Amino acid sequence: MLFMTRTLPFLFCFAFGMTGFAIYYVPHEWAQSVEREFALWLRLVYAFAYILGLVSLLSLHWSKIRQRQAGWAYSLIVYISFGVMFLFVVYNDGNGPFTSQATTGPYQWMFTSIHVASSATMFSMLAFYISSAAYRTFRARTPEAAILLVSAIIVMLGRVPIGAYISDVIPDTMQWLMSVPNMAAKRGILMGVSLGAIATSLRIIFGIERSYLGGGGD
């Protein structure tokens, strides 16, 4: 059983990983068609992953309702709103689920009125908290913190029209900061990150890193 639960997935990972790596360097049509199939397969497996996420979310809220955990009524609201929207998904503005997606009707209405409004609002709330945090904690305690603070202020002023309104030097300085020191640092980080990603990928392919298999002995 250990072969099926640990060794077989590793062999799969190794075989697909090595093939995915090698075909990049082979310009032959056969290699290109393998790459095409890999990309298609990956895409389709991702689609199933959405179901996995959905079932996981609904199970979480179902267990809250079943065990009458604190705030279980809110989990019921998740189910009700999911159910209503799901009906509209299937209804598809009167066309049913076995055709292309309708661009009008209650499904689109729910999306615009509830989903877009709520999602954008949730993220916009961070504006308040980030402002409050900046006031309370953004201090020039050290030379490094002072550099960070000055850079932030130049960018905040230079990136909006008020900077140019005060002086043309501000947007020009901002542009230089972004294109030279910021760019150099981001490039250094990018190189470090990509080296890390390459190293991790190699560890995965050669079975040194197996955390994707999850916990448990079998």
Partner 1 sequence: MDRLINIDRRIIFIFIFLGIAIPLLVDIPLPIKPTPTVRSVYDEIERISVEDADRPVLVSFSYGASTVPEMVPMTRAILRHLFSRGRKVVGICLWPEAVGIAQPIMDELAVEFGMEYGADYAFLGYKPGNLAVVLNLGQSLAGTFPFDAAGTPVGELAVLKGVRNLKDFSFVFDFAAGDSMEFWWIPFGQEKHRFPFAGGCTAVMAPDLYPFLQSKQLVGLLGGLAGAAEYETLIEAPGSATAGMEPQSVSHLIIILFIVLGNGVYFTTRRRGGKA
Partner 2 sequence: MTKDSYVLIGFLGLFAVANASLVASGVLALDWDGIGVIVAAGCTLALYSFLYKDNPLFKFAEHVYVGVAAAYIFGITWYNSLYGEILVSYFDIGAEGASGGGHNPWVLLFPTLLGLLMLTRFSSKFGWLSRISFAFVVGVGAGLTIPRYMSSFLLGQVEPSLAPLSMSWAGLNLLLVLIGVITVLVYFFFSVEHTGTVGHAARLGIWFLMVSFGASFGYTIMARLSLLIGRISFLLDDWLHVM
Residues in 117-146 that interact with partner 1 by CB under 8 A? 118-120, 122-124, 127-129, 131-132, 134-136, 138-141
Q: Does 50 bind partner 1 (CB under 8 A)?
A: yes
Tokens representing residue 128 in the block = 């308040």
Secondary structure (3-state) at 65: helix
Residue 26 contact partner, candidates partner 2, partner 1, none, CB within 5 to 8 A by sort of partner: none
Q: What's the one-letter identity of residue 90?
A: V
Among 116, 148, 169, 202, binds partner 1 (CB under 8 A): 116
Q: Does 36 bind partner 1 (CB under 8 A)?
A: yes
The site string for partner 2 over 65-104 (x = CB under 8 A, - otherwise) reads ------x--xx-xxxxxxxxxx-xx--x----xxxxx---
Q: Does 217 bind partner 2 (CB under 8 A)?
A: no
Q: Does 29 bind partner 2 (CB under 8 A)?
A: no
d(CA 211, CA 204): 9
Q: 146 CB contacts (<8 Å, ≥6 apart)?
A: 140
Q: 105 CB contacts (<8 Å, ≥6 apart)?
A: 88, 91, 92, 93, 94
Tell the smallest beta-carbon distance from residue 99 to partner 1 (Å): 6
CA–CA distances in Å: residue 43 to residues 23, 37, 183: 18, 10, 33
CB atoms within 10 A of CB 77: 11
d(CA 95, CA 183): 51
d(CA 110, CA 115): 7
Q: At CA 200, angle to CA 194 and CA 202, rounded to 5? A: 105
Q: Does 68 bind partner 1 (CB under 8 A)?
A: no
Among 65, 93, 111, 173, binds partner 2 (CB under 8 A): 111
Q: Does 78 bind partner 1 (CB under 8 A)?
A: no
Q: Does 3 bind partner 2 (CB under 8 A)?
A: no
| Residue ranges in contact with partner 1 by CB under 8 A | 32, 35-36, 38-40, 42-44, 46-47, 49-50, 99-101, 103, 108, 111-112, 115-116, 118-120, 122-124, 127-129, 131-132, 134-136, 138-141, 149, 152-153, 156-157, 159-162, 164-165, 171, 175, 178-179, 182-183, 186-187, 190
